[in-house]
A and B are shown apart, each in its own frame.
Chain A
Amino acid sequence: MACFLVPAAEAVVTTVIEKVLDSSNRPAKATKLPANSAATGTADSTADLSEAHGATAAVADASTNTGGMRNKIARKLRWLNIMLWGGSALLCLEHIWHGEVVPFPPFLTAMPDPVARAEMLHEMATAGVLMAVLITAAWGGMVAISTMIEKRNPAVSREAGE
């Protein structure tokens, strides 16, 4: 009746997680040096600059591993998102086909009738949850296999995308 709403809700959560991981992954914009620092050209400012560059490089080195890991997680989370969103969209068509979903409020035809609503919620709690669990389990299997392949041959780690 509306079982696809459970995987769709999971998709919302996983998409937010993916976006957060993705945004924290993006390199920070280089901070502009004050115009007068280049103009002075003293030994002190040169030392300050090289120190600053060293610090930046150290921070970059330290964050490379974390960033790489986040990047990998975000990339693999995208597989789950596509399965959840894609599956939900295609199942939504089926529900429209069968007249269970309509393009006007309350959108779900079972909503006005208490008996039908209870049946719908039961279906969401059983079939819907099982759908979400099975898709997540399938994704877990995909991640396990790809991690195993990447460990054996690190060169394929970028190839494993779409």
Chain B
Amino acid sequence: MITNNVITNGYYFLKKLLLYQPPSDPPPFVLEETPDNKPSKSDQVTGELENSFQNLETFLRYANRVIAFLTKANMSLSQGQYSDKTKNLKIEYQALEKQQSELEPILLAYQSGQGVTGERSLSTSLEENRQIIETLYHLPLNKDIVFREIDIASDPLVKTMAVFIDGMVDTKIQNYAIFQPLMLLGSDQRRLYDGDLVDNIIRKYLPTNQVQRVVNFAKLQEGINNGDTALIFDGVAEAILVNTKGWEHRSIEKPSTEPTVRGSQSGFTENLRTNTTLIRTIMRNSDLVTELFKVGRRSQTTVAMLYMKSVANPKLVAEIKRRIQGVCTDDLESSGTLIQFIEDHPLLPFPQSLSTERPDRVGPHLSEGRVALIVDGNPYIHILPVSFFTFFHASEDFSLPLPIANFQRILRFFGALIATVLPALYIAISYFHVEALPTQLLLTIAGSREDIPFPAWFEVLIMEISFELIREAGVRVPGILGTTIGIVGAIILGQAAITAHIVSPAVVVVIAITGLASFTIPEYLMSSAIRVVRFLLLLFSIYMGLVGLATILLWLTVILCSMKSFGMPYMVPIAPRTIAGFDVIVRGPVYSQNQRPDALNTIDQKRQPQISRLWKKKQPAEKGDEE
């Protein structure tokens, strides 16, 4: 055939190779920059509809309950047994009556007008209470909340529900001091409904140190968020909070790679539950949702996604969820691996998510509307999306006084600049633009170079590489020896290299300053990225001097500006310009941080009111104010 010979094959191969094929990928995810924050009118209408829908459902559930009761009564009455069962029926009837009084339309309308808030008081119906708690904790999304339904041995059985947050309670206390006495040590002969049920249980059957009676959901939530176990009983519009606080303390250690002067000293561990608990101890809010996924066909690694339901942009949450669920692999080594699977630009050196082992760092980011990812078995938690500037903010920035924090921040940015360009600048100037150096300095450097048998770029490269070696060795060598090797190695090597006339003192100074400066960047991944970029800049400044340096810097700027971190522009809030809280390069005072980052386009843009120091507007404390 004519169509299948070497020439046509070659032609088709070349055509396939050279002809442009438009990419078949769908358009990339971009987080929209101009939000429509105000709820529109149609939203309000649907809100009202939803409320009445919920009311109707409540009525329906009540009706079902009444039907169940009636059948039961009918059965027992027709069987003609009177004594005990009738008493039980009476108790049940009383409960129904109570619930009916709650359902009175005026009350209901008032309550539904409030929406599902914590201000609502508990219902007598167990089912109703469960519904409300589920809404409050965004179930079924949230996987942290546990409902444990038990029946307390009694006549009639007391249907009870224990509600608590997984990880924040001490299971031992729970098992031995709540479930065991209530379930095993009771007897069917008890008549708990006689008199005050809650009081009965507290006084006689709960051998725990602290209990509290609550009547509304606000208190209930607070207790649950603090690690208490809530016991809710059928037929009683009251609940008991049992003190079962007990999250893990001992295994938590200091964060090893993110030391801080003023921040908290606890770090994440390998246990996912411990980590979620650590975050919950900082953000004690029922809005905090933990979603769990299984990633890795064979490893079945648990991945937790945490976000504030009322703050985080739902589109962002959906997109991250989509990406995590779209990862199909055998096993997941660590959170770093997961991030590489889901980030926008896995081939670029710049980190697109903030990895941290400090719970106190995750908390503020969550409340800004970001999402945290935890991978079981890895103590590094990734926060996303982030902007380039976040990597230069240290966790203690907001705990230090304003001028000190800002001084340190400026120092850090300056350090980043030096770490990026100094060796390249040295090479560019000494190779192509010697006129820029003061004469005396130039002659001193030139004189000290006379004994050196290598070109300057090679000197810089030798020193750069040996510095990298020292750094890498310091990480790998265990324990105290590592840091010692780092310091001693650097000093001895530098001094020896000068005396051996292998490198000139000027180069040692340049590389030492560069190395030192690169350690001022708080984020390890960012300082690694800058290190890579530094070599690129060095290469081109050897070749083209300042022209090469300027060009590569421009390339980097363009790359950074076109990058996205999970749909959010990477250089936000500078490019594109968005309304920034005064917290980019320097930060403003804490009381002026009124807005959440604009680029995240959160549901609630406001972080604190315009006047966050309310005491400023009030009279100072006077005589008689003391208690």
Are these two chains actual partners, yes or no? no
